[in-house]
Structure 1
């Protein structure tokens, strides 16, 4: 089949769906991009959704591939470190990487709108807002969409991608297919979240360090804050949905006030009406999605959160989705439009990496909420960083592998990170390590262990 004639449908015009549309159109495919919601450039569709995202090297690599990196960077803020706030208001800074390495705070709505506008400029892309997928024939690829006036639109294509998020309709319809062996799980985390705000100062400046991600780690729960270009911070409170200290148990203004005063005393004067906001907002759930296969009938594929929804604690959800798009686009070129080969290679390459980053993100809640305020954890990070400076080829810290090493698969980062954890556990057992962590014998042992375990 002549690829110029091949029509591709993408369900979901979030950041991943919009980027995928651009990449496929530039390879010569006609793309119809369907979105159930209104055009976010004309209506606020992000109520209750996290309005900040952390963009790192994997995401930037995909954006550079379509030439929008510089445009998006103009509206992003680099965050060079974590700043931990303890219960006494004392601050601890922990750099994310080396020198000028940073993760970037970006507006979810802003990046989505920029990518939709980019898609709109492509002559081979048709955008369809307020079209909600209702039915899909996985053999003929006839799709039916309901419209805002309760109409029903039928659309045919040669390929279809579900880029429709954590609660993907494409994925749910695939699960109903007869004679298909589909493994699927959707797991809710104990924590849910709400958004709070720190407004800018009167002169438009930020009330806290601007180029940092702020964390108030409190073991079972935490508050984080990401900077915005208007001087505000978007804050997210992660808290158990039910239990002794939870969204359900904090059911009065008095309890919520006491909760903030006890746990977030230094944030309380900065936050905009946190008690009223807490009482008025419904907490949003956090979910993990695993599914296999990602491809059905060699005609339908899942991408982004539809294939691998994860918790936000590694800041990799959108980055991983963008990486899906980049890898798929490279496979299209590599396999010269042979979609059976493209889809098989895509699933083979991306599924293990999706599983790996889901696991890493889940683990990172413990690191952010509990360990980041722990003196042993902070010492581990110092030792790791010093050893990495001494032997940069031998030891790249796990966070840097995930965040700043865009060509290293997530699955490799997870495997190497587990070995590094074993080595660091041994190092931390050394006598008087808190006093002697800079002594040569610590790094000699670490070098010996690293050569034995990492060079295999």
Structure 2
């Protein structure tokens, strides 16, 4: 029997903790070094966004770790996008066909702590407050330092970096042997605000906003206020609040974060552009002043690994912008693939790392592209009549010809089909929808039988969906 190598993970965030749990369950000895203090003792300090969207890919990874049901008990279901027009009108655009196809809003901090507990219960050893400061790849040793600057050394067999977009291990690997790193800034930033629970707001305001129970607005939706080149979104939290995120250009003509330097300017902007949202944020001035502007970028690497010695996963290898809600889900999917490969051939780390990159890199590139496209869709297209016509036609064809048509969003969010397949198939389907709508711009006027025959003639049947039932 091949001896299993000891695994050293850099990063104990969401992906690192889940990867540690997965590997430990397969009999690997795993140690994790995390630069931040233990959030279960010090409180959650890490991460930029407060809550995240959990979809089928992430859920499947949690199922393999035996954690899905526990996580869902603490999550809030989101059926679709609640689009808020400038005039105050709103409407729900469902993500899927029914409540079997929903996404879930989860607390980043609570999920991280749950994963840490689960990994420790599987035998993983965590070392908190330990920053990676030097890596000797030839000697198979790393050097770490705590907050006081006290350094320690640690010998490693296999080194896996799950330490996020600012990965220290990626920096060390890139210095040792260039990885072909390319970071593409979006040019837009974000700032987080909060809608508190309903019982802290005037009852008349909550009633006007369509709140329910402890939530000031509809709880089972991801809310979007699209305004063309910018937008606000809001995700529900289990205790009744909503995390609101303002996305704006970082610089340039108004509005941008450069032209809204303080809460006074931002409040005037919200009063004009988000008049129904502003009254729901009683701590607007304090939130705007206290919360930093986050940056948004896409990371591309030519190589994710250094032969069989070190590998990058999750955001450390393929950080993306958040507009498809797939960053965490993609990282969780990484953990399943890597665990299966290492468990099958634990003695061939070079082969495993190369195969992991071969499988995952095209999919990471695909979701990176789709996330950028989804930003335009969310901030602009969701209120565009042509987009709505195409969406309506797609829904009709998915019902009429389900073996040949599935909306790209559903492929990404509710199936295990590779991201690369969803990207290519989605482009082919969109081209056909555009062709049909050129002849009949009103989706209700389309001859659905003829349209279905066109799909069946030009597209191969969809593969088995591989969705968990």
Give TM-score scaled by structure 2 length. 0.92
Distance in 1 between the 2:388 and 2:74 partners?
32
Structure 1 pair 343/443, CA: closer, same or farther in 2 (3 Å)? Answer: same
Does residue 347 of structure 1 match 2:357?
yes
Contact in 2 for aligned 1:34/1:127 (Cα 8 Å): yes
Alignment of 1:405-444 (within 5 A): 405-406=415-416, 408-431=417-440, 433-434=441-442, 437-439=443-445, 441-444=447-450
Moved more, 55-64 or 237-246: 237-246
- Corresponding residue for 1:114? 114
Alignment of 1:4-83 (within 5 A): 4=4, 6-46=5-45, 49-83=48-82
- Work out which of the residue numbers 355, 379, 398 in structure 2 matches 1:388: 398
Structure 1 pair 350/261, CA: closer, same or farther in 2 (3 Å)? Answer: same
Q: CA RMSD in A?
A: 1.7
Moved more, 335-344 or 190-199: 335-344
Partner of 1:3, secondary structure, is coil
Structure 1 stretches lacking a partner, 5+ long = none
- Corresponding residue for 1:189? 186
Residue 442 of structure 1 and its aligned partner are, at CA, apart by 4.7
Contact in 2 for aligned 1:308/1:354 (Cα 8 Å): yes
Distance in 2 between the 1:450 and 1:191 partners?
41
- Work out which of the residue numbers 445, 448, 455 in structure 1 matches 2:451: 445
Deviating 4+ runs (over 6 angstroms): none
- Corresponding residue for 1:157? 156
Residue 80 of structure 1 and its aligned partner are, at CA, apart by 0.6
Distance in 2 between the 1:172 and 1:181 partners?
9
Partner of 2:42, secondary structure, is coil
Contact in 2 for aligned 1:191/1:240 (Cα 8 Å): yes
Distance in 2 between the 1:159 and 1:53 partners?
30
Structure 2 stretches lacking a partner, 5+ long = 201-212, 463-469
Give TM-score scaled by structure 1 length. 0.95
Moved more, 373-382 or 336-345: 336-345
Count, aligned residues: 448
- Corresponding residue for 2:206? none
Contact in 2 for aligned 1:85/1:216 (Cα 8 Å): yes
Q: Deviations over 1:39-78 (max 9, x none)?
A: 1112234377201000000000000001010111110011
Distance in 2 between the 1:26 and 1:99 partners?
34
Q: Deviations over 1:224-268 (max 9, x none)?
A: 000011111011111111112111111244422221011101111
Residue 140 of structure 1 and its aligned partner are, at CA, apart by 2.4
- Corresponding residue for 1:357? 367
- Corresponding residue for 2:467? none
- Corresponding residue for 2:104? 104
Moved more, 291-300 or 422-431: 422-431
Distance in 1 between the 2:240 and 2:14 partners?
24
Structure 1 pair 317/404, CA: closer, same or farther in 2 (3 Å)? Answer: same
